[in-house]
């Protein structure tokens, strides 16, 4: 229970999940989640971050009741996803990572059908608001097959929200979508969060997580390796970051420490001496340095620090 006596919006208690191992060894299993404990309170905007394969989608599919945990307990608004599935599912709106649709409906029909699935009648006003807020009004009568990827993503969001769930889960909702949709989507989701909806977001866009999430958990090889408020995570990062533009390839030793995006290089620097040292090494490699800037670490720097501090399990197999 939370301090106010309400159940948490989402609770994972000692959740583990193993899958049959893909190595083909008889009886061997792969540990995708390892005793995950997380409690997300009503009204939070919570980020779940982790590298590919960390277990984020597995956690969400367990939450949505699409797969069962091997052990542990999971609940949504106090409803156990195993023993009280219908109530748990009704409390949840999940925007999945994959674009999956019934190709026979137009957009409005799909939303009406989905309302029926949740036994919501007289939903026309909310469906209109969803279409309007997600920039879909002029696509209401378009067939799903005829929509672009970005438009399909908007429909997925509308479908997840059609029954006004108190808890909204977004699994990488902005993967491969344009700037306009991102802005529309975040504006709308932030508005719903202000109205009291709880939001759980997984994303690889760490600047989005930094801007939106009040609290963040980081997963690595199936384990929670960091869990704190976004501001505490940011202030926990040590040192500064040297950001500069370089006109060629960095020496290997520096490259292994750097975030490199094209010609922009970002290196963690404990102090001014480290900055000088980096600049000398870059110049000695015959490269020209421009646009030098020293800045505080952002969430991506914190994420990389946390991932480096926690080696994770090389072998997640169980026999
Ligand atoms: N049905 C399955 N059978 C076997 N292994 C699986 C299955 N689903 C997921 N896995 C494995 O479990 C691990 C966690 O996968 P999951 O999709 O949850 O990670 P993720 O954090 O969501 O990754 P990404 O960022 O790439 O989406 C991966 O190693 C994946 O290969």
Residues 281 and 188 in one domain: no
Residues 170 and 287 in one domain: no
Domain assignment present for residue 131? The answer is: no
Domain assignment present for residue 138? The answer is: no
Domain assignment present for residue 41? The answer is: yes
Query: From CA 256, how far away is CA 202, in angstroms rounded?
Result: 26
Domain assignment present for residue 245? The answer is: yes
Q: Of ligand 1's atoms, which has the minimum distance to the CA of residue 60?
A: 18
Residue nearest atom 11 of ligand 1, based on CA coordinates: 32
57 lines ligand 1 (CB under 6 A): yes
Whether the Cβ atoms of residue 223 and residue 36 lie closer than 8 Å to each other: yes
ipTM (interface predicted TM): 0.96
Nearest by Cα to 44 from 180, 206, 169, 174: 169
CA 57 to ligand 1 center in whole angstroms: 7
Residues 172 and 289 in one domain: no
Number of neighbouring beta carbons within 10 Å of residue 245: 14
**Containing domain of residue 275, as a range?**
239-296
Residues 183 and 85 in one domain: yes
Residues near 137 by beta carbon (within 8 Å), at least 6 away in sequence = 128, 131
52 lines ligand 1 (CB under 6 A): yes
Residues 227 and 245 in one domain: no
Q: Of ligand 1's atoms, which has the minimum distance to the CA of residue 97?
A: 27
Q: What is the CATH number of the domain that holds 53?
A: 3.40.50.300
Residues 227 and 261 in one domain: no
Per the structure block, which two tokens stand in for 309?
């501090």
Domain assignment present for residue 114? The answer is: no
53 lines ligand 1 (CB under 6 A): yes
Residues 77 and 195 in one domain: yes
Domain assignment present for residue 122? The answer is: no
Report the predicted TM-score, pTM, of the whole model to 2 decimal places: 0.89
Per-residue pLDDT of the chain (319 residues; tens, 9 = 90+): 555 678 999 999 999 999 887 766 667 788 899 999 999 999 999 999 999 999 999 999 999 999 999 999 999 999 999 999 999 999 999 998 887 777 788 999 999 999 998 888 889 999 999 999 999 999 999 998 888 888 888 999 999 999 999 999 999 988 777 888 889 889 999 999 999 999 999 999 999 999 999 999 999 999 999 999 999 999 888 789 999 999 989 988 888 889 898 899 999 898 889 999 999 999 999 999 999 999 999 999 999 889 988 876 666 676 5
What total number of domains does the chain contain?
2
Q: Of ligand 1's atoms, which has the minimum distance to the CA of residue 17?
A: 12
Q: Of ligand 1's atoms, which has the minimum distance to the CA of residue 61?
A: 18
18 lines ligand 1 (CB under 6 A): no
């Amino acid at each position: 229970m939370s301090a106010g006596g309400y159940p948490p919006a989402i609770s994972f208690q000692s959740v583990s999940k193993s899958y049959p191992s893909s190595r083909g060894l008889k009886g061997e299993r792969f540990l995708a989640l390892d005793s995950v404990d997380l409690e997300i309170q009503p009204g939070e905007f919570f980020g779940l971050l982790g590298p590919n394969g960390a277990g984020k989608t597995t956690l969400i599919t367990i939450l949505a009741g699409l797969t069962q945990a091997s052990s542990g307990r999971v609940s949504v608004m106090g409803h156990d996803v195993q023993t009280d599935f219908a109530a748990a599912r009704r409390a949840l709106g999940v925007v999945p990572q994959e674009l999956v649709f019934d190709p026979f409906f137009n957009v409005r029909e799909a939303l009406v059908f989905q309302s029926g699935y949740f036994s919501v009648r007289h939903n026309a006003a909310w469906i209109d608001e969803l279409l309007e807020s997600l920039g879909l009004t002029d696509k209401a009568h378009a067939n799903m097959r005829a929509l672009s990827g970005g438009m399909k993503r908007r429909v997925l969001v509308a479908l997840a929200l059609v029954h006004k769930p108190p808890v909204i889960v977004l699994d990488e909702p902005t993967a491969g979508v344009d700037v306009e949709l991102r802005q529309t989507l975040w504006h709308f989701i932030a508005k719903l969060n202000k109205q009291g909806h709880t939001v759980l977001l997984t994303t690889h866009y760490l600047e989005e997580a930094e801007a939106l999430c009040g609290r963040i958990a980081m997963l690595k090889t199936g384990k929670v390796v960091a869990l704190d408020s976004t501001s505490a995570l940011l202030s926990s990062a040590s040192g500064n970051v040297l950001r500069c533009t370089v006109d060629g390839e960095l020496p290997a030793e520096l490259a292994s420490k750097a975030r490199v995006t094209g010609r922009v290089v970002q290196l963690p620097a404990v102090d001014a001496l480290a900055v000088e040292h980096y600049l000398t090494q870059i110049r000695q490699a015959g490269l020209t340095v421009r646009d030098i800037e020293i800045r505080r670490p952002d969430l991506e720097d914190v994420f990389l620090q946390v991932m480096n501090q926690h080696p994770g399990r090389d072998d997640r197999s169980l026999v």
